[in-house]
Amino acid sequence: MDAYRSAWLDDELDLFRDAVRRFVQMEIVPHDARWREQHHVDRELWTKAGEVGLLCTDIPAEYGGVGGDVRHEAIVAEEMGRHGITSLGHAVHSIVAHYVLNYGTEAQKRDWLSRMATGELVGAIAMTEPSAGSDLQSIQTRAVRDGDEYVINGSKTFISNGLHAGLVGVVVKTDPTQGSRGISILMVETKDLQGYRVGRVLDKIGQNGWDTAELFFDDCRVPASCLLGPGEGQGFVQMMRDLPYERVLLAIGGLGAMEYALKLTADYTRERKVFGKSLLELQNTRFKLAEVKTNVHVARVFVDDCIVKLRAGKLDTVTASMAKYWVTDMQNKVMDECLQLFGGYGYTREYPISQLYVDSRVQRIYGGANEIMKEIIARSI
């Protein structure tokens, strides 16, 4: 049995992990295949998750959250990864909650965060557009001030949680002449919003149970009080400041998935017979799994250090970018090595390693493509 234990864990967190694991095993795993087929979870899963305290775990209790810290979010992300679950977009939900917590007014925090914690509001962040991905300065969605309202026009794509989203952080241009300093974030409640429309739920090669949708805004009028921050033009800075949190959550989820893949593959190779021996008795298998285990352990130690730094408010953008890029790149390599050891069975949906393989691919793209992460890191040299 491995002796390593993350230094940030304690007895209370062990109990919390037990509760998260029970919820995942009882409320998610049995339904995950159906959700993958329909390309979204049932809406009531969000309220069930809120009822047991799995949403907004690191949001202060005074705003309706669980009152924990990033370690609680890490445990939720790990347990989802360790069960091969990508259907519940809890990480994006938490990222949106942090935008509100970090930049919202007192009234905004008390209104939106409490409803996000219960699952009444599902959070989404609408950055990407058909012609603007990593280059956020190229977005075209406009928000024009008209008295006590903003009028929003534009479209967004690849929006995680888009189907069920009740609160969308819409990244808009409030002043197209100012480049990045003309970008703002409007926190938009979607219920009964005139001119708002959810388009297609996109048919992806992986993560099929997690809804990823197109959103359309046609002369949508929202209160001016939806603006996030003290004034217009703060959106780009807000996004840059919150990216370390987002990128570490992606790394944590990737690590959990790697740990799951290693366990599945070790179990399979023990049972699979080849030339009269178990597959695990063959030197190539043993060496491949030795490499995988080493890489997973290195990722664990790196991610643990990031969690400690993030909790202390000391995680810088460069280190978070390193974690996102390296862990997700390694995640894909681990999935490839593990699938290979399953042979032809690994290429069938009968074995979960195939799902882990396709689910992992997008990790190198969203949250900032890994090529962008390398550019950020290179600038620090």
* H-run or E-run covering 159: strand 149-160
Query: Residues, the chain, total?
Result: 381
Between the CA of residue 259 and those of 108, 201, 290, 292, 343, what are the distances in Å?
A: 38, 30, 13, 9, 20
Between the CA of residue 63 and those of 54, 122, 189, what are the distances in Å?
A: 15, 16, 18
Taking the mean position of all CA atoms in its chain, how far away is CA 108?
23
Type of residue found at 236 = F
The catalytic residue among 246, 259, 350, 371 is 246
Among 18, 13, 88, 84, residue whose Cα is nearest residue 263 = 84
Partners of residue 123 on adjacent β-strands: 167
First CA to last CA distance, the chain: 40
8 Å CB contact between 74 and 254: no
Taking the mean position of all CA atoms in its chain, how far away is CA 85?
12
* H-run or E-run covering 174: none
In this structure, is the dihedral angle defined by the CA atoms of residues 116, 363, 323 and 8, taken in order, positive or negative?
Answer: positive
Tokens 């959250």 correspond to 65
Coil, strand, or helix at residue 170?
A: strand
| Residue 276: how many other CB atoms lie within 10 Å | 6
> Does 78 qualify as catalytic in the annotation?
no
Q: Which residues participate in catalysis according to the annotation? A: 246
